[in-house]
Amino acid sequence: MVKSYTDSQLLDKVKSLKSFKGIPEGYWILGVRSNEDLPNKFDDKFYIFIGEKFITMTSGTTNPGTPILEGGFLKYNRVGAAVVKANEWYYGVWRYGLHKGKMPALLQVGKIKVHRDGDKDKKAEELGTPIEGLYGINFHTNTWNLDIKEIKENIGDWSAGCQVANNVEKYSMIINMLKKQHNVTYCLINEF
């Protein structure tokens, strides 16, 4: 699991990125990708801010699950699984909607940079030159049943590149906060 940081450590880090243009005024999400990166485990964190004020945090994944990494990506893309490029800002990238027409989520409406990991091992890697586009990289949770309290450990098929929270109760609270905002900015960093 990702180590803990102070608000100022996180804000200093995101302000140092080349793609930084300013802290968004409304709600935004900061994903922190674990250096340990255990295969098929929810070992990353998502921090929710409004401006520079920290609101809450939840666990999740910024990487595809092993079923996708080991070849399941072929039903989505022949080159490889989508691994979102870290240490980047993605301004206005998401908007509230329904993931696969069923789950309240943040849907990709702006461009995201991804690496295509096609080596079919269990490790999500930023392989090759990143490409930028619209790939359906959404922010959602890992169950269709938003009433459950269980916090699952295994990613499975729940991410083929999407950023996925595994604490459904916290996720529901986050989505309810963010759904009224027109667009939501995302910043993804590696653990530091």
pLDDT of residue 190: 97
What residue numbers bound the domain in which 73 lies?
7-190
What per-residue confidence (pLDDT) applies to 26?
A: 96
Residue 2 lies in a domain: no
Q: What is the pLDDT of residue 94?
A: 98
Closest CA to 138 of 178, 158, 165, 108: 108
Tell me how crowded residue 25 is: count the other CB atoms within 10 A of its CB. 10
- 101 domain residue, yes or no: yes
Q: Return the structure tokens found at 133.
A: 């586009």
18 lies in a domain?
Answer: yes
How many Å apart are CA 141 and CA 154, to the nearest integer? 12
The reported pLDDT for the residue numbered 148 is 87
What is the Cα–Cα distance from 189 to 172, expressed in whole angstroms? 23
Q: What pLDDT score was predicted for residue 149?
A: 86
Residue 96 domain-assigned? yes
Tell me the pLDDT tens digit for each residue of 77-106.
989 999 999 999 999 999 999 999 999 999
The answer to whether residue 109 sits within a structural domain is yes
The predicted model gives 42-71 an average pLDDT of: 97
Q: What's the order of all strands across the beta sheet hosting 131-133? A: 81-84, 112-117, 131-133
Does a structural domain hold residue 185?
Answer: yes
Coil vs helix vs strand at 163: strand
Residue 131, both tokens: 């490409």
d(CA 158, CA 149): 17
In a domain, 114, yes or no: yes
**How many domains are contained in the chain?**
1
Instruction: Give residue 150's pLDDT.
Output: 84
When pLDDT is cut at 50, 70 and 90, the band that residue 70 belongs to is very high
Per residue in 1-37, pLDDT (tens digit) is: 789 999 999 999 999 999 999 999 999 999 999 999 8
If one counts every other C-beta atom within 10 angstroms of the C-beta of residue 16, the result is 11
